[in-house]
Each structure stands twice: as structure tokens, then as C-alpha cells.
Amino acid sequence: MLERQIASTTGRANFKGINGNMFVGLKKIELDGVTLNGINGNIELQLAADVNADFDAHGMNGRVDSDLPNISIDKSKRGSYWARIGTGGSGITAKGINGNIRLTRGQAAPQAE
């Protein structure tokens, strides 16, 4: 399986139809948020310490785990997860993921050129 790594992003991001594992570093999330759709592989979201967001996942064939402090992940029904990161805010939405999602604290990622 291929592995994709996005060095870092700020603002809005959409990831769709990717086959392979992904590592995404998020320093800031704008109002439009982040969307992950139709990913076949595991996803690691590395979030900066000051990122505030609401995480919502539906239609997942996998699980959601978090290494972030003070985060509890609610699983309301099969394949659906929700979590508030920090004080909440812009959305991180995941739909149709065939794999696991891990929320981690991001280290200083290299700047994309």
C-alpha cells in the first residue's frame, strides 16, 4: 500500500479517493475545515497544540483513537465517531474511510515548498 505524507497545511483541506496510508499535519483549520472522503488506508492527523476543532466521522470501517490529552471519543453507533478537540471549532469530517484514524499532537513539521 502506498503512503502519503502532507508536510503541513493551514486553512482548508480536502482529501478524496486516496488509496494508501496518510500522515497529515494540521497547524491551523479555517472555517471550511478539513474533509477526508473515500480513503482506503490508515490516517494519522497530527494537530498543532493550539488547534481547536470538532471531529466527526461517519461510515467508517475502522476505529478512531487519540493520543491527545483530555480528548474522549464518542462512538454513537457503528461506524460513527465524534470528538471535541480543545475548545471545538471548525470541523474535521471523515466519511467512507476504510482504515483507522489516529489523532496525535503534531511536531514541528517541515514547511511545504
Residue range of the domain that includes 19: 3-105
**Is residue 112 in a domain?**
no
**Is residue 94 in a domain?**
yes
Number of Cβ within 10 Å of residue 91's Cβ equals: 16
**Is residue 78 in a domain?**
yes
Structural domain total, the chain:
1
| Burial of 97 per CB tally in 10 Å (0-12, 13-18, 19+) | buried
**Is residue 110 in a domain?**
no
CB 86 within 8 A of CB 28: no
pTM score, two decimals?
A: 0.82
CB 70 within 8 A of CB 11: no
pLDDT band at 6 (very low <50, low <70, confident <90, very high): low
**Is residue 75 in a domain?**
yes
Calculate the alpha carbon distances from 64 to 10, 78, 90, 93 in Å: 23, 12, 19, 12
With b for 16 or more beta-carbon neighbours within 10 A and e for fewer, the 11-36 pattern comes to eebebeebeebbbbbbbebeeebbeb
| Rounded average pLDDT over 36-49 | 90
**Is residue 113 in a domain?**
no
Residue 78's pLDDT is what? Answer: 86
